Amino acid sequence: MSDFEQRWNRVITMLTERFGKKPNMEAILFLIGVQELGPLKKKYTKEQKQDLMHIATCTLLSQSGYYELDGYDKDGWPHFKEAQPVPKMELGEQERFLQEHIIAYFDLEEE
């Protein structure tokens, strides 16, 4: 098993233990978005869930300089601006790219 696979499995195991079931990529992005937004609400609309996943993606990619925080709206939701274009990738490459950023995000969280 590669170092990447071991690190990814650690993230999945940690989230599975914390939430009681194995998360998929959408669930992980949703959780990161909720964590970045702050106080948890009981229910989110479908649009808000998509926005939370967008917040997560921008937060993750800001680690590599692709996005930067542009400020917050009146409701406290963060807004990002693109700092540099994300490279074009095949679907499998995109998933691995996001997984690497998720691993780094949780490594930072544990420090």
Beta strands of the chain (E only): which ranges? 67-72, 78-82
Q: What is the rounded CA–CA span in Å between residue 90 and residue 50?
A: 22
pLDDT band at 101; cut points 50, 70, 90: very high
| Stated pTM of the model | 0.89
* 27-60 confidence digits (pLDDT tens): 999 999 999 998 777 788 999 999 999 999 999 9
